[in-house]
Structure 1
Amino acid sequence: MAAKPVSVAEFQELARQALPKMNYDFYTAAAEDLYTLKENEEAFHRITLIPRVLQDVSRVDMATTILGYPFSAPILIAPTAMHKLAHHRGELATARAAATCKTIMVLSMSSTYSIEEVAASCNAVRFFQLYVIIARVIVVLNMGSLITGMTIPKLKNLEGLISNEVFSEKGSKVEAYANSTHDPSFCWKVVHAVGGKVPVLLDGGIRRGTDVFKALALGAQAVLVGRPVIYGLAVKGEDGVREVMQMLKDELELTMALSGCPSLKHISRNHVRTQQDRLQSML
């Protein structure tokens, strides 16, 4: 029997082996040379932890509350499209796994099951990704991306099938050389300015429980993971999603213990050192 995957990277490799190339490329593709996609992950590597010893971490509590709903850990499942391309049970399997893990799946507008079907699949809190596409009075206009980039693997997969099409994607598929989600230029002062009035959730590049810890230390209340969940779904269906989520929770628990944090409220900016911190220390 093959050894159990012990990292998101191992789940990704198994997903690559299990899925048709076009399906795998759909989930892993990003703009042009994948710079922003890679940077979202590698930026976490440049943040180091500052451990705390002689703290009572005999019991580590990861529980949190977001918008009044309790969660077992600050790790949610991000809206990702077309789960049936990874597994025939698609979003139904993902939603059930999320409920078992006492977290939530944010259902994508591009779900391969209807809202009603996913809602009926389990007894859980329901979150939904919504793009308002009908005429409304403008309150806030999102200008995140007016011009979209190329997703090269998808173009290769579709070569010869269609022509004169423009493919637009979101997130790391939009801009080839955008800054990572926690780049200083995004001004993390905004996180502190909201003063806890709204929850700050970080999405993008989370591949380890240490990444979750770093995001929390920088001011996020919780994170969302997308691709790692899809990899688990592709490899083992509902069980694979549970394994990925549990793996991230176990890693977060260990990181909290090594950092001397018995609960989420003990995690602070003092527990991490960013590249900007290191540069400032040399001035």
Structure 2
Amino acid sequence: MTPQHTHPALPPGVTTLADHERHARGVLDEASWAYLFGAAADELTFARNIEAWRALELLPRVLKPLAGGHTRVELLGRTFAHPILVAPMAHQRLAHPDGEHATALAAAALGAGLVFSTQASAPLDEIAARFLPEPGRGPLWFQLYLQPDRGFTAELVQRAEAAGFEALVLTVDAPVQGARDSERRSGFRLPAGIGAVNLTGLRHPPPRTLAAGQSALFDDLLTHAPGWDDVAWLRSITRLPVLLKGVLHPDDARQAVACGASGLIVSNHGGRTLDTAITTANALPRIAQAVQGDLPLLVDGGIRRGTDVLKAIGLGASAVLVGRPVLHGLATAGATGVAHVLRLLRDELEIAMALTGCRTLAEATTVLAPTGR
């Protein structure tokens, strides 16, 4: 008989998302922790993301009819059980040997959507094959960084389509990597055997010869940075919906509507790119006002409780993406840990809905207390 791989039970005392974080901190080495969980510069945006959701207050209603309530949400023409998706995160095998396979297994079983990273440490077709057969699964989307080699980018998109991915999520807020001090301080390097396997064969343009006084950033690297024309090109080569991830400015949101984007993810990259950028809780209502319902909005950054999910929906999001807590759960107990994190968030969302008088997510706009005193 072939032995079956089993996932460990949760360690004693792991009850909340914060417990998962504390346990993960104890099992990962310093360099892996710095890469997976570090943020840019002084990590202010990272911390403020969390605090911004906490600062929003709920104004509950009582004695409302709640029987038959649900957390269902519609995204891109399909209805899903709840509005929680796993954010795209690179190199998950740093957190646990099962990496993206464990995350996909747990997300599919819990009905959560999965946004799979270009820089994943597992092949995209294997993850799709693991995720798609689950009958109660959420959406399966492929996160994309546009590469200077358009031919390779087109091939990658075709591979994602063939594997069964249902949308493309184009990250637009990282033409360069942020100044991640903790990562540099730790001396992080990818260990042997872990890499961006879906980018194998990618050809990088040779560095330019720079004249005296020229910038290696502005006069070389950023000459390949994508622009709005590249969004139009991407839409022209795929039959899949294209969402833009990393939009914080209302003018960019309006431009995205004009260029035919199918959705926006309000994101500051979890504070990993530009420190002191606006928090996503504060950016979301401004983006919602700018697009006026012309396309669905999702949001990530700092979601740590089911109440945060409800607040995000109340501010105009259709769904949320959760990143670091999923990796905390993965490091704690593999697929079991990820499933526990997702289950906690959904359970807490249902509790928050019941205690604020929301029978459905459509009523979430009524539960936020007015700001100011």
Q: Quickly name the TM-score band, shorter chain normalised.
A: 0.7 to 0.9
Residues of 1 paired with 2:332 and 2:171: CA distance? Answer: 36
What are the Cα deviations for residues 150-191 of structure 1, in whole angstroms up to 9, with x where unaligned?
21211111189xxxx99xx954111221111122xx472441
What is aligned with 2:325? 228
What is aligned with 1:213? 310
**Of 119, 137, 152, which residue of structure 1 is paired with 2:128?**
119
- The alpha carbon displacement at 1:142 in A equals 8.3
Structure 1 residues 188 and 234: alpha-carbon distance in aligned structure 2, compared to 1, 3 A threshold: same
Query: Does the CA contact (< 8 Å) of 1:15 and 1:231 recur in 2?
Result: yes
One-letter code of the match for 2:338? V
Structure 1 residues 170 and 211: alpha-carbon distance in aligned structure 2, compared to 1, 3 A threshold: closer
Query: Does the CA contact (< 8 Å) of 1:72 and 1:101 recur in 2?
Result: no
Residues of 1 paired with 2:46 and 2:115: CA distance? Answer: 21
Structure 1 residues 19 and 190: alpha-carbon distance in aligned structure 2, compared to 1, 3 A threshold: closer
Residues of 2 paired with 1:50 and 1:30: CA distance? Answer: 33
Query: Does the CA contact (< 8 Å) of 1:95 and 1:104 recur in 2?
Result: no
Residues of 1 paired with 2:351 and 2:284: CA distance? Answer: 29
**SS of the residue 1:129 aligns to:** strand
Task: State the identity %.
Answer: 37
What are the Cα deviations for residues 211-230 of structure 1, in whole angstroms up to 9, with x where unaligned?
00111111111100010101
**SS of the residue 1:252 aligns to:** helix
**Of 103, 106, 110, which residue of structure 1 is paired with 2:119?**
110
One-letter code of the match for 2:140? R
1:156 pairs with 2:165: no
Aligned residue runs from structure 1 range 1-283, under 5 A: 2-122=11-131, 123=133, 124=137, 125-134=139-148, 144=173, 148-158=177-187, 170-183=269-282, 186=283, 188-268=285-365, 270-273=366-369, 277-278=371-372
One-letter code of the match for 2:351? L
**SS of the residue 1:105 aligns to:** strand
List gaps (5 residues or longer) in structure 1: none
Q: CA RMSD in A?
A: 2.7
- The alpha carbon displacement at 1:31 in A equals 1.3
**SS of the residue 1:237 aligns to:** helix
Residues of 1 paired with 2:148 and 2:51: CA distance? Answer: 38
Residues of 2 paired with 1:208 and 1:159: CA distance? Answer: 30
**SS of the residue 1:113 aligns to:** coil
One-letter code of the match for 1:40? N
**SS of the residue 1:215 aligns to:** helix
Q: Larger relative contact order (C-alpha < 8 A, sep ≥ 6)?
A: 1
Residues of 2 paired with 1:194 and 1:97: CA distance? Answer: 33
Query: Does the CA contact (< 8 Å) of 2:284 and 2:317 recur in 1?
Result: no
What are the Cα deviations for residues 41-70 of structure 1, in whole angstroms up to 9, with x where unaligned?
001111000000011124430111211233
- The alpha carbon displacement at 1:133 in A equals 1.5
Residues of 2 paired with 1:265 and 1:118: CA distance? Answer: 32
Residues of 2 paired with 1:235 and 1:18: CA distance? Answer: 8
Query: Does the CA contact (< 8 Å) of 2:112 and 2:342 recur in 1?
Result: no
Which 10-residue stretch deviates more, 55-64 or 228-237?
A: 55-64
Structure 1 residues 60 and 18: alpha-carbon distance in aligned structure 2, compared to 1, 3 A threshold: farther
Query: Does the CA contact (< 8 Å) of 2:86 and 2:326 recur in 1?
Result: yes
Structure 1 residues 159 and 145: alpha-carbon distance in aligned structure 2, compared to 1, 3 A threshold: closer
Query: Does the CA contact (< 8 Å) of 2:13 and 2:19 recur in 1?
Result: no
Structure 1 residues 8 and 198: alpha-carbon distance in aligned structure 2, compared to 1, 3 A threshold: same
- The alpha carbon displacement at 1:145 in A equals 5.3
- The alpha carbon displacement at 1:120 in A equals 1.6
